[in-house]
Amino acid sequence: MIKRPEVLAPAGTLEKLQVAIDYGADAVYIGGDAYGLRTRAGNFSFEQMRAGVEYAHARHAKVYVAANIVAHEGNLPGAEEFFQHVQETGVDAVIVSDPALIQTCVLAAPGLAIHLSTQASSCNWETLNFWQDEGLERVVLAREVGIEEIKEMRRHTDIQIEAFIHGAMCIGYSGRCVLSNHMGLRDANRGGCAQNCRWKYDIFDMPQLGQKNDLTSVGPDGKKEAFSMSAVDMAMIDHIPDLIDAGVDSLKIEGRMKTVHYVSTVANVYSAAVDVYMRDPAHYHTDPAWVDDLWKVAQRGMSTGFYYGTPTEQDELFDEGRERPQYRFIGEVQAYDAATQTVTVQQRNNFGIGDPIEFYGPGFTHYAMTLQDLFDEDGNAIDRAPHAMQIVTFHCPHPVRPGDFLRGQRVRRPHQRKTVQHA
């Protein structure tokens, strides 16, 4: 019998945690106020962790806390208390990479499950067995691992395997990069990455001695990011059967710093895909609507990373402008009155009469329409809803549910998308 894999979504805030679970995620991973690699994400206090755990467990979902820094001298004091407090919140596991922090967690919070972070760059079954012997429950694989390697791992070990399936990919080996340290004195391996690889670079002709000190570009003409070091994003939506058949237990989505729009959309898509596969593996096929939804929140091109071969220059942003989402998050449904066909919405971005809008909700439900009328909270007719978080109503002939989200389509669409896939 095929085991259903977990869909694991990122949650940078308590709101995103709730949204990810509402939109189909089986588990979420979050960060605390220390020891994580996303210091700029909306990390959780212990009280927020506890609230998140209560919300998740009430809906049969799990919560994991990332504590995956590479510890330097001075980083370890306080770790015992951190892991003890994390355990007291009821989280299901912590994600750690540093052996000293792993040992600290084992001694300070016995019984708290530990998952090995992708930062540890686990690429072979011998390594997986080593960590299983050390008492770890799960290993998050290096992003440089291919499908055939995962199959070999599964043949030789029964430890849980987690693998990234969607989102940004680091130009460094499994995220272990020192470019940010070198250029900005911000340690990427202790949560301070400045994402220098995403900057735009060029090659210049240095002026001769005595000439005017102007730099002249000698890079290719007409290419916006000819010398970017940034990889395109990963998207494995077309290969869910390969991942499940290879024995991956947890399908991980990247993006603790991404928006509610991104988290809800991507969790919704991959949950729908896994559900369809589990119902009838023999007749599974990728729904084009899933792919279209992913492009609505995409920021770059997409590829399959290392899963089917070593990426080439086509998997990096050498010669294409950055993709921007065609849609933006504009509101959340608060109520729907079937008798009057009126929907009440809390605004999140400016929208108004004449705009094409789309409702989407858990279970991969969608409904598109053009806005014909709009009223403020007092019932006054208005043309637009320009104020953040304002409550508005309008007529909608199709029933929608509280918690459904609204997208607004951008007038200017980005250039044609490019998807790279290895055979």
In-domain check, residue 373? yes
In-domain check, residue 213? no
**Mean per-residue pLDDT for 287-294?**
96
CA distances from 402 to 256, 344, 345, 346, 349 (A): 24, 9, 9, 11, 18
Same domain, 244 and 137: yes
pTM (whole model) above 0.85: yes
In-domain check, residue 150? yes
Q: What amino acid occupies position 117?
A: S
Nearest Cα residue to 407 out of 322, 293, 299: 293
Report d(CA 194, CA 184) in Å as an integer: 7
In-domain check, residue 386? yes
Report pLDDT for 179. Answer: 74
Same domain, 272 and 355: no
CATH number of the domain bearing residue 350: 2.40.30.10
**Mean per-residue pLDDT for 137-166?**
97
Report pLDDT for 423. Answer: 42
Whether residue 175 is predicted with pLDDT greater than 70 in this model: the reply is no
Number of compact structural domains in the chain: 2
Same domain, 22 and 48: yes
DSSP β-bridge partners for residue 205 = 216
CB of 99 closer than 8 Å to CB of 71: no
Q: Residue 371: which domain range?
A: 327-409
Report pLDDT for 311. Answer: 82
Within 13 Å, how many C-alpha atoms sit on residue 169's CB side?
30
Report pLDDT for 314. Answer: 75
Whether residue 260 is predicted with pLDDT greater than 50 in this model: the reply is yes
Same domain, 140 and 254: yes
Q: What is the mean pLDDT of the chain?
A: 88
Same domain, 62 and 150: yes
Percent of the chain at pLDDT > 70 equals 84
pLDDT tens digits along 224-244: 555 667 788 899 999 999 999
CA distances from 45 to 12, 25, 34, 398 (A): 12, 22, 10, 40
Q: What amino acid occupies position 295?
A: W
pLDDT tens digits along 82-125: 999 999 999 999 999 999 999 999 999 999 999 999 989 999 99
List the single range of 193-207, 286-300, 374-388 with lowest mean pLDDT: 193-207
Same domain, 151 and 276: yes
List the single range of 34-48, 93-107, 149-163 with lowest mean pLDDT: 34-48
Report d(CA 64, CA 56) in Å as an integer: 11
Report pLDDT for 301. Answer: 84
pLDDT band at 418 (very low <50, low <70, confident <90, very high): very low
